[in-house]
Amino acid sequence: MPNPTEIVLCGLDGVLALIDHRLHFLRNDEGIRDWDAFYAACDDDMPNLPLIQRLNLAREEGYPVLLITGRNAAVRGPTEAWLARWNIGHDGLWMRPADSRISTARFKIEIVERHLAGRKIRRVYESAHQLDFARWITQQSIACTLFGPNQGNGAAREILDLRNIRHACGHITLYPFYGDDDHAWDDRCAQLAQNSCLLCQADALDAERRQRHAQARAAAHERGLPPLAGSDRQIAWAEGIRLSAFGAIDKVQQWVDRHAEAAQAEDPDHWQTVTQGIARATAWLEEQTDARWWIDHRQGIANHLDAGRTLLSAVAEQEGYF
C-alpha cells in the first residue's frame, strides 16, 4: 500500500491544459498583456491526455492528486467545468486568489509550505513556463517532471502524443506533441534533444548575468565609483548602464584633451565654462548611487561620445552648471 500521506501535485496551464492557442493574449508584437482574455479563453484548452492517464493511474494506486495553479480564481467555475468535461479526477484544486499580487511561483511555494507541510510529495508536474517553482521543487529534492511548450501546429487536435526528450544536459522533459504534421515530430525531437533543458538554459543565462554583473561591479570599483543602492536586480541592471555612461564620459574627456589647446586660444572664458560644466556634471554623476536613477535615465545612455555629451549637458543644465 502506498503511504497515505504521499501526494502528487500537478499544474494546470501548460501542464494539464495546453495553452498555446491563447498565449497570443500575453505575447504579441504590440506588447499587450490581456490577462482577462487569456483566462477567459481557458475553456477551449486542449487537455494533455497522456498526462491525464498518468494521473488517473496514480489515483487508482492510492495517491491523491492535488492541482495547484496560478490561474486566477475568478475563472474557478469554467475551470471546474473543464476538469469535469475531460474527466480529470483530482482531490483538490488551489487557484491563485483574484486579488493576489504575488508571483505564481511564490503562490505555489506558499501552498506547499503552509498547507502541505508534513505531506510527502511523490512528484510534481510543472510547466516549463514556471521555472522558478520547478527549480524550488527540485531544490527540495522532490521529483519534478517538466512539460516543455507544445509542439506541432494544433490543427488536428485529436492527434496528440507525449514525447520524452533527454536533453544534452541529461535532464528529461516531456513535450506534448499535437497536430497533423506528425511526420516532422522526429526531427523536432532530435532538435530539442541537442539543447539543454529549459531549466538548465535559464540557469546558464542567470550565471552569465551574474558574471556580467560581477565584472561590471569590478570595473566600477576599479574606476572608484561608489557601490549602487537598490535591490539586487536593480543594481545588476544599473551597473551596466552606469558603466556605459562613464565609458562615454571618458570619450568626452579625451575629446576635451584633444581640443583644449585650440579652444583655449580661441575663447578662454567659454572654454573654462565648458570644462567646468563637464567636471561638475561628472562629479555629480559619480555620486549618483541610486540604481533606480540610472534605470530611469537609461534612455540615450550609450558608450559613445555623443551620448556622453548629451548626458553631461543634461546634468549640467539640470544642476545649473552652465
User: What residue ranges bind Zn ion (CB under 5 A)?
Assistant: 169, 171, 197, 200
Measured distance CA(41)–CA(216) in Å, rounded: 44
Give me the least distance between CB of 167 and Zn ion, in Å please: 5
**Residues with Cβ within 8 Å of residue 82, at least 6 apart in sequence:** 17, 42, 43, 45
Q: State which residue, 14 or 148, has the beta carbon closest to Zn ion.
A: 148
* Cα dist from 122 to 7, 43, 54, 82, whole Å: 6, 29, 13, 25
Nearer to Zn ion, 192 or 307 (CB): 192
- CB nearer to Zn ion: give 194 or 318: 194
Min separation Cβ 127 and Zn ion, Å: 15
Q: 232-266 and 305-319 helices cross at what angle (nearest 10)?
A: 90
Distance CA 139, CA 142 (A): 7
Nearer to Zn ion by Cβ, of 135 and 157: the residue is 135
In the bound complex, what is the minimum distance in angstroms from residue 203's beta carbon to Zn ion?
Answer: 8
Residue 200 vs 256, nearer CB to Zn ion: 200
* Residue 129: burial class (beta carbons within 10 Å; 0-12, 13-18, 19+): buried
Phi/psi at 84 (5° precision): -70, -40
Instruction: Find the shortest distance in angstroms from Cβ 224 to Zn ion.
Output: 41
Task: Supply the minimum distance, in Å, between the C-beta of residue 199 and Zn ion.
Answer: 5
Of 124 and 252, nearer to Zn ion (C-beta) is 124
In angstroms, rounded to a whole number, what is the distance separating the alpha carbons of residues 90 and 187?
35
Q: Residues 135, 108: contact at Cβ < 8 Å?
A: no
CB of 146 to Zn ion, least distance (A): 9
